[in-house]
């Protein structure tokens, strides 16, 4: 992979004001609002404090929110012809796609860390060091399928429609998946719908340090499956676009 191209991708993202708003302010403010709303309450199924439960979910939401945004740049590059120009350079398709995914993963990490620090410093959430590492690194690794989804959206959307498709994906994954709002408060039929969403399982990874029966292994399998499916979709779409050059 071209390290120069990767550095360029990361710089493009972190120089954008939207990155800082999305990566830090948005998920942390949502966490503080909901933690205060549910202050003193516990999750009936697990008995853990809602501030702990919300931390795992909002860390997952912040990560997937940032990761999906990689599609915006991909769609713009396709629409302007920049992606077509890159295909006739020594930069391989693998390097291009890997750089996009790596950039999304790099910028997802601060979003997760910001929510975790907010919980520890402002809400009194306590975990051993291993628990914090499990939360932050587990959610971070589990963000990969959402970065792939972001690239796929960028490959099928136009520069005009990519923001709409990305925003709809944010809301569907965040709300129905139970990352943006706790799915334990959903009616049973909606909880069944939530369990189908990959974001539900990313939230499960975020909850795992606080729960004895965390379903962490199942979550890892589900997210790995989504990674394979979305990785294949991204590759096939890129190959199809390349055939048109």
**What does each of the 245 residues of the chain score in pLDDT, given as a tens digit?**
567 777 777 777 777 776 677 677 888 999 999 888 888 788 777 678 888 989 999 999 999 988 998 888 888 888 887 777 776 676 777 788 888 898 889 889 989 999 999 999 999 999 999 999 999 999 999 999 999 999 999 999 998 999 999 999 999 999 999 888 777 778 888 888 889 999 999 999 999 999 877 789 999 999 999 999 999 999 999 888 766 65
Q: How many domains does the chain have?
A: 1
If you write DSSP's letter for every residue of 199-241 in order, what string do you get? HHHHHHHHHGGG-SS--HHHHHHHHHHHHHHHHHHHHHHHHHH
The C-alpha atoms of residue 67 and residue 108 are separated, in whole angstroms, by 6
Write down the pTM of the prediction.
0.90
Joined together, the tokens standing for residue 166 give 């990305």
The C-alpha atoms of residue 107 and residue 147 are separated, in whole angstroms, by 11
Domain residues for the domain of 180 are 3-242
Cα separation of the two ends of the chain: 22
* Residue reference for tokens 């914090």: 132
Nearest of 136, 151, 66, 135 to residue 105 by alpha carbon: 66
The C-alpha atoms of residue 197 and residue 177 are separated, in whole angstroms, by 5
Biggest alpha carbon distance in the chain?
59
Reduce the DSSP state of residue 42 to 3 states and report it. strand
């Amino acid at each position: 992979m071209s390290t120069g191209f990767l550095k360029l991708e990361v710089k493009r993202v972190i120089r954008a004001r939207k990155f800082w708003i999305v990566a830090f302010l948005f998920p942390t403010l949502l966490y503080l609002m909901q933690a205060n709303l549910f202050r003193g309450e516990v999750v009936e199924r697990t008995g853990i404090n809602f501030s702990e439960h919300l931390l795992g979910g909002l860390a997952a939401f912040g990560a997937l929110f940032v990761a999906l945004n990689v599609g915006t740049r991909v769609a713009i590059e396709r629409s302007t012809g920049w992606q077509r120009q890159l295909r006739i350079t020594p930069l391989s398709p693998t390097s291009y796609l890997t750089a996009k995914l790596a950039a999304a993963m790099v910028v997802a990490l601060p979003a997760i860390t910001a929510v975790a620090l907010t919980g520890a410093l402002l809400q009194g959430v306590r975990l051993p060091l291993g628990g914090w590492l499990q939360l932050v690194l587990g959610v971070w690794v589990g963000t990969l399928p959402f970065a792939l989804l972001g690239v796929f959206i960028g490959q099928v959307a136009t520069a005009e429609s990519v923001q709409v498709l990305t925003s709809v994906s944010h809301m569907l994954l965040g709300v129905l998946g139970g990352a943006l709002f706790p799915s334990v408060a959903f009616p049973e039929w909606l909880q069944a719908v939530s369990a189908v969403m990959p974001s539900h399982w990313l939230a499960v990874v975020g909850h795992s340090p606080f729960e004895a029966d965390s379903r962490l292994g199942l979550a890892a399998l589900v997210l790995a499956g989504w990674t394979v499916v979305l990785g294949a979709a991204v590759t096939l779409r890129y190959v199809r676009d390349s055939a048109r050059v």
